Amino acid sequence: MQVTHLDGPAGQPPRVAFTISRRCGGAVARNRLRRRLRAMVAELAAEGSPVGPGTYLIGATPDAVNLSHQELRIDLHRALSALRGTQPPAEGDES
């Protein structure tokens, strides 16, 4: 998972875009992955996790299609945490 970020004005919600290549599968698989990632970003933002103001571009690798919900969420959280310079929670700590 790759995340690119541009700072934005404080107080505005984050803007998120996804790049999921055709190597991830057909349109159905890509759209399913995009919906899963969008829901996870919303969950993380609601929890006050590392999604702050600005614009994000989240790129998923073909391996992401086969990850469970928990594995995908951990990968996304790690990528966002690395971007923001914060420590992600331990594997068992995330709910």
92 domain-assigned: no
Output the pLDDT for position 95.
42
29 domain-assigned: yes
Whole-number Å distance between alpha carbons of 73 and 81? 12
Show the domain range for 39: 2-84
SS3 for 31?
A: helix
Taking residue 68's Cβ as centre, other Cβ atoms within 10 Å add up to: 8
pTM, two decimal places: 0.76
What domain count does the chain have?
A: 1
CATH value at residue 10: 3.30.230.10
91 domain-assigned: no
Chain-centroid distance of CA 58 in Å reads 6
Chain-centroid distance of CA 18 in Å reads 9
* Structural contact between residues 21 and 78, judged by C-beta atoms closer than 8 angstroms: no
89 domain-assigned: no
pLDDT exceeds cutoff 60 at 81: yes
54 domain-assigned: yes
Per-residue pLDDT tens over the stretch 7-56: 888 878 788 999 998 998 899 999 999 999 999 988 887 776 667 788 89
Taking residue 82's Cβ as centre, other Cβ atoms within 10 Å add up to: 14
